[in-house]
Amino acid sequence: MTGQATTPSSEPIAIERLTGTVLAVQANYYWVQLDPGSPIPATCATQRLLCLRRARLKKVGQQVAVGDRVVVVEPDWQGQRGAIEEVLPRRSWLDRPPVANVDRVLLVFALAEPTLDPHQLSRFLVKAESTGLAVTLCLNKRDLLSAADCQQWRDRLRNWGYDPLLISVYQKQGLQTLHEALSGQTTVVAGPSGVGKSSTIGALIGTDLRTAAVSGKLARGRHTTRHVELFELPDGGLLADTPGFNQPQLTCGPAAIPALFPEIQQRLAIAPCRYGDCRHHNEPDCAVRGDWERYPFYLELLEEAIDYEAAQERQRQTESSFKRKIQRDGREVLEPRLNSKRFRRTSRRLQHQAIEETDDL
């Protein structure tokens, strides 16, 4: 009789599988926050484990990103380490920066220092809308403007289709309303540098984050966040701090642009355009063209999207003219595809066959 040898009174040991959320990624290491209720020994003082990715995930090209829900095995409670065996299905995905399972985009701008630029704000709003997630607009440093100026900005942005939350981290104004808007959700925080993103996150989570002063020469903030990281909110929910950047790039075709403007959607809900594929430019009987503030910006983005689509088509055509070849050192290079009729010699076997067929005739 054959079978698995066991010691007397022993039982099969089950592999301990835990689930959690990736809070941060640094090089090849992943900080995972285990779910509440996980079977953690009483001697372990934390629910966070520093994990590696299993080699199997690397082989299949499975990326592990901040926000991913993962299965952790082989926990070393004393060393506070583990291994990520599986990445659970994602409900949403952002590729720049890579964050998984996000519910909302919190766009943070400053009313002053640096001065609020409507053109830059519009770019960030359009990029946020392109994610397909809910968008919350937060304007910091309201203490630097008068009540009348703050109300003017609020009314102006409502005409854009947004109801902004005006806060002051310095004077702790409006933070409770922001808490309530983000509670129980995973939110990615975006916005230009120097507007107080890290200070806002610090005020929400109750911890001071590393910040830097606004550059006086450039009149904009220095970059302070170097990598994506999730922070827990006291009332439930997670915040993803992202590296600051000043001009987000739009990567979509012209057909997708109208859906990124709430003003256009409001107008189309009242009266549709004559043509279903209307670009709201020079088409007759267009319900969108008119005297609304961001219409010139819409036309600007439309031209950018047309140029982007043309560039993508040129790239596809260029790639079809090349073939990928792996060098001995593992590098991948592109080589032009040769026209066999012009650049390649006919094999001698085919030449002999042609001669024999001619002789038979």
Binding residues for GTP: 140-143, 191-199
The answer to whether the CB of 246 falls within 8 A of the CB of 220 is yes
Task: Tell which phi-psi region holds residue 121, choosing left (phi > 0), alpha (psi between -120 and 50) or beta.
Answer: alpha
Which positions make up the binding site for Zn(2+)? 273, 278, 280, 286
- State how far the Cα of 165 lies from the Cα of 149, in Å rounded to an integer: 14
Query: Coil, helix or strand for 313?
Result: helix
- Count of H-run helices and E-run strands, the chain: 9, 17
Q: For residue 49, which of 88, 77, 14, 15 has the smallest C-alpha distance?
A: 77
Encode 197-216: b = buried (16+ Cβ within 10 Å), e = exposed: bbbbbbbbbeeebebeebee
Q: For residue 121, which of 111, 113, 109 has the smallest C-alpha distance?
A: 109
Which positions make up the binding site? 140-143, 191-199, 273, 278, 280, 286
DSSP of 143-190, one letter per residue? GGS-HHHHHHHHHHHHHHT--PEE-BTTTTBSHHHHHHHHTTSEEEEE
